[in-house]
Structure 1
């Protein structure tokens, strides 16, 4: 090689070194930038600027996902930071990103730890069924990995979830298992938390002496460690127990001590709970004004952080305070609001608590007819609650049985594999020993026989390996089928067999992005089948069917109505039971011009179909429809696009009902140029103009909600 060749090589090597160095510098710069952004989020949380901190964290998440340069551990640290500040909704998004990275990297233990954090966030948001799913997934990994510490932490979380669900006695078993491990390994903080939770269970069971013993043990186990936050929480719980037993002065003193400890920490959630307890104690002691002020302050924080349980407790305390002051109208207002919130959250126990307060208020006001109505509703709710508890117990037992079955299957596979290897080694040893003894006498025969024997062993081993491989594949297929079955159950409405909201939330973002991408690729062709059509369908006068024929007849109508929708729409369309008598349909690979035709076909099919409800003659029903292009205008952000679309179709559905029902109103597309006389729909949603279609005489005959109000 000449001088020119060496020069070329040197140039290439230098270029390569420069490129590598540049990549390293960019990685370091990105890492430093993310650390700076996380520090900014922490500063906003410390300043109690929670909305700004949430926005900053979500923006950082989006940037990290696009650049693929933030590590899973960094995601996890940011999620813990937000979770400790009671920003549970945002922490869920961060932990999900970390879980995805850990799954890609195959880090099972970190996957399980992240699932545990997700369960904690969901529990604080009162999403107990989702939290239990995360705990069981993590427990399966912990058992496979034989991670006893993680299993103990998961048992602690499981016990807390079951306690907050009202499964008091069931919660004791996992908590005691966790306590046993923490004691054996001298883990003071975890042991204290577990003792605290067991004490709360005995408090709920009205065993005050036993509950106080556990609280005191929890306090004593960490008193020397100076864990201020945990000491403060224990003090407040001791105060709550004193309040429950009627020792109000002692309760106020203990809660004040706990609150003073907590104020020196950054745990805003625990501070809010302590203020809530102190407010209840002050109201009980006669200092109503200050007590109500603390209750409202704690409720405001709980509402901003999405903690429905804390809001419910505060509202109950306020209503009870008003009852004590004999301000029955104010107590009724709080109880009604609490009942509505509990119904939205599907909290049957919460509904019963607030309805009980309404009952007392109506009796105190002398409105005995309303009190009897409330009592009737409470009886119905108690029956529903009993059915729900039985169903939950069965589902929990099935999940535990499945978990044990999977663990035993894995253990049997491992034992079978070890036995096969041991058998092969034993046969190999016997063969070697036999031919070693015969080597001196029959060397030639030994060589021939040895080769034959080795060949036979190879065949046997291959057969056994093949059989074990087939068994393993069969077990994997069984596990995959079981997982798909569980996933199918969680994504479908049990009454109609249609998909539910969870399925729509998982599918819709991808469909909107696909539609918007296709629109950008071919902007000049407006009639390509790339549009998404969204229809909100409501059964007219469904309440009348329940009132006249009963809820069983109503269920039959809903099931038959779902079958009609399956006939009207294509298999590729998403048919969702939205809630009650409302159904939502998303038509894929369609054109916006098809909207009126699809809506009319649906309306006509429903109107012409007899519905059998078990009487001599079937009944006929009608439906009202609101529809729109999804999204009506080109929104890039999914949340904005979906919320805007749903608001439009809900508004259009309302207009259909006001205009006489058994019809449809909807937006085919929005216009770029403003109209001289915009419709109320254009005004409400700030559209320059829109192409509106209706089954009524014309657009002018539509009765819009705003027009009716005027």
Structure 2
């Protein structure tokens, strides 16, 4: 999939939060540290206040994005929300984590974020997105040679294939993951792999083999310590064993197994697994005749599945209810659930579920006397069975072809061995035949041997040189590939993916040397050039949010791309043009004069105002911008961090003043003086400048609305 950008996150979260009232008991959570935030959200989840927990998580991300920091609790928070089946909120958290870790170049955390995003998408039945995330995570795991991470990605990929009914395809990644987990003596993950392989054999109808895998997984985990994770896994496996017993019509054993599994799961916080077990319990109760209690449990599981967006669980409940109503001869109600299930199964390409729901529709229509409808459904069922059979046949043929190829290669090896023996026997006979001749020609043989040895030595030298040359060329190719991979990674980490402009990381790597160079040139009186200054401009697109609100985020992205092109036209190629964040851009002009600041700002403002931005679908918009600028640094500061922080604070303050003064204009600091002036501006007072020279595109300095004046 495609990286998310900070602008999209901020706007989406702002829109979500604009219609939400924050829970009063957590209004002061901004003052708490990250651990407290996680504890607060965890408390809400344990109290089953899921909507409040979602809101609090979204607020946590919004505050983090506004402060532009990277909380260490991103991944733990995403996993915590997933444990309680809050997959949509988890996606928002993990999207923010992915963006932050990508920007900072933390590849392992990027891969972990992609892995958990894939899990969230899988639970929401967004399988295409899940596979895309997993492919990206697998690339990073292979690049870092992280076997454990690679195995975890293979495990999740197998589950994604299994839920799409690609059963034979799912076995390969699961077995690859199982081999790694067993090598690492990771019993928990090994048992999880075994349970999923058991699921596949259960779906294929191999009940005995499936139960063997479940039993192996359960026995392995039973020997471990009874922590929450192991209890959760034991509960899931026990419930699956009960489901398998239910298929074999062992109803009492099935009910006991599911009850044991549910008891184990209730001691954990995995809400999704608990409701899956409740669904199986409801199905078992319906089959044992306890209709009221069974239906109540299924309806409870249905409400949870719909609220959390888990389409797979929704269809499992629909199937159980439809089968229950068929047993009660309530055919109309069975048809309602069967039709809804068929639509969802067709939408997600699940052939087996389509067949199950269509079989119920067929039986219900026959029972209701609608034979014409039943006949139409029968033809669809036949087509689906042929499609399913073709899919399974293709996989079986591939396996058979592999076996035939293996046998064929084995036969060729046997023939080769026989030919070798014949050659050896023939050589022996020739040797015996020519013994007398060689005995009479000893001197000649010795001479030929010496010549042959010298020839062979020369040949070996040539071969060794060739191999050394090939190895050298291979090493050079590998070095080139590594160098290219490094450049690619560096490009990804230093460029904004939407606009192609440099990002903050690049600015932080270049700016210290630029400030030092500028200060050396200024201190060097003998330097004749006047263009020795560094200039800093902070540019913000006016009313950008309304573009997203009125035309959508894709239109906003096109405006950002067009705006970056305008900046490239206005400024020189030697200037640093940075995508600062959202709709803000920062420009650092090198080898310039401070007197050029008003001219540069006005040129940028006028060019933007006159430009027409294409937003797609033959639509265009016009935008304006506000600019704050300053000399970099504004006064004599030797330390880089202080110089940059002071400069950015000044341009940010000036930009804010420009927006308050009416937008589509610029305000900035050209230089500061050592002497104090009686008419100091609010900017001088805020940054403790004795006096300064300020320029603006508005009427005059007195007309500027400074932030302090608006606050008062």
Output the TM-score relative to the length of structure 2: 0.53
Distance 1:347 1:466, change over 3 A: closer
Distance 1:219 1:287, change over 3 A: same
Equivalent position of 2:330 in the other structure: 327
1:249-288, CA deviations, whole angstroms, 9 ceiling, x for partnerless residues? 1000110011111111111111000000011111111111
Q: Is residue 2:153 matched to residue 1:167?
A: no
Q: Which residue among 250, 275, 278 is the counterpart of 2:281? A: 278
User: Contact conserved, 1:335 with 1:357, CA < 8 A, in 2?
Assistant: yes
Q: Which residue among 621, 626, 629 is the counterpart of 1:589? A: 621
Equivalent position of 1:232 in the other structure: 235
User: Contact conserved, 1:79 with 1:91, CA < 8 A, in 2?
Assistant: yes
Equivalent position of 1:675 in the other structure: none
Equivalent position of 2:83 in the other structure: 84
* 1:108-127 map, 5 Å: 108-127=107-126
Inter-partner Cα distance in structure 1 for 2:381 and 2:552: 33
* 1:137-286 map, 5 Å: 137-224=136-223, 225-226=225-226, 227-286=230-289
Q: Which residue among 326, 335, 339 is the counterpart of 1:336? A: 339
User: Contact conserved, 2:246 with 2:254, CA < 8 A, in 1?
Assistant: yes
Distance 1:80 1:380, change over 3 A: same
Query: Once the 2 structures are TM-superposed, how far is the Cα of residue 168 of structure 1 from its aligned partner?
Result: 1.4
1:226-264, CA deviations, whole angstroms, 9 ceiling, x for partnerless residues? 122111111111111100111011000110011111111
Inter-partner Cα distance in structure 1 for 2:620 and 2:486: 34
Q: Which residue among 358, 361, 372 is the counterpart of 1:358? A: 361
Q: Is residue 2:28 matched to residue 1:44?
A: no
Q: Is residue 2:93 matched to residue 1:68?
A: no
Query: Once the 2 structures are TM-superposed, how far is the Cα of residue 473 of structure 1 from its aligned partner?
Result: 7.4
Inter-partner Cα distance in structure 2 for 1:357 and 1:464: 62
Query: Once the 2 structures are TM-superposed, how far is the Cα of residue 31 of structure 1 from its aligned partner?
Result: 8.0
Inter-partner Cα distance in structure 2 for 1:467 and 1:277: 57
Query: Once the 2 structures are TM-superposed, how far is the Cα of residue 388 of structure 1 from its aligned partner?
Result: 9.4
Query: Once the 2 structures are TM-superposed, how far is the Cα of residue 464 of structure 1 from its aligned partner?
Result: 12
Distance 1:509 1:78, change over 3 A: farther
1:376-412, CA deviations, whole angstroms, 9 ceiling, x for partnerless residues? 444565677789999999xxxxxxxxxxxxxxxxxxx
Q: Is residue 2:134 matched to residue 1:135?
A: yes
Inter-partner Cα distance in structure 1 for 2:619 and 2:362: 47
Inter-partner Cα distance in structure 2 for 1:150 and 1:60: 28
1:546-568, CA deviations, whole angstroms, 9 ceiling, x for partnerless residues? xxxxxxxxxxxxxxxxxxxxxxx
Q: Is residue 2:349 matched to residue 1:317?
A: no
User: Contact conserved, 1:530 with 1:588, CA < 8 A, in 2?
Assistant: no
SS of the aligned residue for 1:309 comes to helix
User: Contact conserved, 1:319 with 1:331, CA < 8 A, in 2?
Assistant: yes
Query: Once the 2 structures are TM-superposed, how far is the Cα of residue 341 of structure 1 from its aligned partner?
Result: 3.5
Equivalent position of 1:104 in the other structure: 103
Question: Which moves more between the two structures, 259-268 or 101-110?
Answer: 101-110
Inter-partner Cα distance in structure 2 for 1:388 and 1:140: 29
1:202-226, CA deviations, whole angstroms, 9 ceiling, x for partnerless residues? 2122222222221111111121321
Query: Once the 2 structures are TM-superposed, how far is the Cα of residue 176 of structure 1 from its aligned partner?
Result: 1.7
User: Contact conserved, 2:168 with 2:395, CA < 8 A, in 1?
Assistant: no
1:30-56, CA deviations, whole angstroms, 9 ceiling, x for partnerless residues? 783443333221111111111121122
Inter-partner Cα distance in structure 1 for 2:331 and 2:354: 18
Inter-partner Cα distance in structure 2 for 1:79 and 1:57: 9
Give the superposed CA RMSD: 4.0
Q: Which residue among 285, 288, 291 is the counterpart of 2:291? A: 288
User: Contact conserved, 2:555 with 2:615, CA < 8 A, in 1?
Assistant: no
User: Which runs of 5 or more residues in structure 1 are unaligned?
Assistant: 1-28, 394-462, 481-486, 488-503, 519-527, 533-571, 575-584, 592-710
Query: Once the 2 structures are TM-superposed, how far is the Cα of residue 347 of structure 1 from its aligned partner?
Result: 4.6
Distance 1:369 1:530, change over 3 A: farther
Distance 1:117 1:509, change over 3 A: farther
User: Contact conserved, 1:236 with 1:254, CA < 8 A, in 2?
Assistant: yes
Distance 1:386 1:105, change over 3 A: farther
Output the TM-score relative to the length of structure 1: 0.53
Inter-partner Cα distance in structure 2 for 1:180 and 1:469: 32
Inter-partner Cα distance in structure 2 for 1:512 and 1:389: 49
1:19-73, CA deviations, whole angstroms, 9 ceiling, x for partnerless residues? xxxxxxxxxx9783443333221111111111121122112111111112342x3
Inter-partner Cα distance in structure 1 for 2:48 and 2:612: 43
Inter-partner Cα distance in structure 2 for 1:193 and 1:377: 36
User: Contact conserved, 1:179 with 1:194, CA < 8 A, in 2?
Assistant: yes
Inter-partner Cα distance in structure 2 for 1:465 and 1:255: 59
Inter-partner Cα distance in structure 2 for 1:49 and 1:365: 44
SS of the aligned residue for 1:126 comes to coil
Inter-partner Cα distance in structure 1 for 2:166 and 2:173: 12
Inter-partner Cα distance in structure 2 for 1:392 and 1:97: 40
Inter-partner Cα distance in structure 2 for 1:132 and 1:467: 31
* 1:267-666 map, 5 Å: 267-345=270-348, 347-379=350-382, 507-508=554-555, 510=557, 572=614, 574=616, 585=617, 587-589=619-621
Query: Once the 2 structures are TM-superposed, how far is the Cα of residue 474 of structure 1 from its aligned partner?
Result: 7.4
Inter-partner Cα distance in structure 2 for 1:136 and 1:507: 25
Equivalent position of 1:56 in the other structure: 56
Inter-partner Cα distance in structure 1 for 2:80 and 2:358: 38
Distance 1:58 1:511, change over 3 A: farther
Query: Once the 2 structures are TM-superposed, how far is the Cα of residue 478 of structure 1 from its aligned partner?
Result: 11
Inter-partner Cα distance in structure 1 for 2:50 and 2:611: 40
Query: Once the 2 structures are TM-superposed, how far is the Cα of residue 351 of structure 1 from its aligned partner?
Result: 3.6
User: Contact conserved, 1:54 with 1:90, CA < 8 A, in 2?
Assistant: yes
User: Contact conserved, 1:31 with 1:70, CA < 8 A, in 2?
Assistant: no
1:414-443, CA deviations, whole angstroms, 9 ceiling, x for partnerless residues? xxxxxxxxxxxxxxxxxxxxxxxxxxxxxx
Question: Which moves more between the two structures, 326-335 or 374-383?
Answer: 374-383
Inter-partner Cα distance in structure 2 for 1:390 and 1:589: 56
Question: Which moves more between the two structures, 190-199 or 332-341?
Answer: 332-341
Query: Once the 2 structures are TM-superposed, how far is the Cα of residue 338 of structure 1 from its aligned partner?
Result: 2.2
Equivalent position of 2:402 in the other structure: none
SS of the aligned residue for 1:246 comes to coil
User: Contact conserved, 1:283 with 1:321, CA < 8 A, in 2?
Assistant: yes
Question: Which has the higher Rg, Structure 1 or Structure 2?
Answer: 2
Inter-partner Cα distance in structure 1 for 2:35 and 2:177: 35
Distance 1:169 1:384, change over 3 A: closer
User: Contact conserved, 2:195 with 2:217, CA < 8 A, in 1?
Assistant: yes
Query: Once the 2 structures are TM-superposed, how far is the Cα of residue 151 of structure 1 from its aligned partner?
Result: 1.3
SS of the aligned residue for 1:266 comes to coil
User: Contact conserved, 1:31 with 1:69, CA < 8 A, in 2?
Assistant: no
Distance 1:30 1:240, change over 3 A: same
1:89-125, CA deviations, whole angstroms, 9 ceiling, x for partnerless residues? 1111111111122212222222212211111111111
